[in-house]
Amino acid sequence: MADVNRGNRPLSPHLQVYRPQLNSITSILNRITGNAMLVSAFLIVWWLIAAASGAAYFDTVDGLITSFLGDVVMSLSVLGLWYHALGGIRHLIWDTGRGLEVETADKMGWAMLIGSVLLTIITLIAV
């Protein structure tokens, strides 16, 4: 039964209540990149299935994956992969009880953002 004296207050804190902080933004981006990598994995599996299915089907799928749009999607996938990997390292550090101070957590957040872009550029140049 709802409390009639509660007024017009939200049930729980949410994005409209809190001012976005670097730590919350990097956490949300980590979840987004995790889901985006799932989509990329499906594309890669589709490409491999097409390769096993025959030349005509493979040519169609390969044409899409290697098109400009496919290159953009795969490049963003590399960015997401690096970002998510760096986020995992950050969480491993936090699991040891280190880096939990706001200033240190912010530095690690910036390291994730900048590091993922730099590592993506290096990867794209190397490939």
Higher pLDDT: 10 or 96? It is: 96
Residue 78 resides in a domain:
yes
Residue 103 resides in a domain:
yes
Residue 2 resides in a domain:
no
pLDDT on residue 19: 81
pLDDT tens-digit profile of 46-77?
A: 999 999 999 999 999 999 999 999 999 999 99
Q: What is the DSSP letter of 11?
A: S
Residue 96 resides in a domain:
yes
Query: From the centroid of its chain, how far is CA 76?
Result: 9
Q: 48 lies in which domain range?
A: 21-126
CATH number at residue 34: 1.20.1300.10
pLDDT tens-digit profile of 84-119?
A: 999 999 999 999 999 999 999 999 999 999 999 999
Q: Tell which phi-psi region holds residue 3, choosing left (phi > 0), alpha (psi between -120 and 50) or beta.
A: beta
Residue 13 resides in a domain:
no
Residue 47 resides in a domain:
yes
Number of domains in the chain: 1
**Quick one: pLDDT band at residue 40, thresholds 50, 70, 90?**
very high
Residue 9 resides in a domain:
no
pLDDT on residue 10: 62
Residue 48 resides in a domain:
yes
Query: From the centroid of its chain, how far is CA 57?
Result: 30
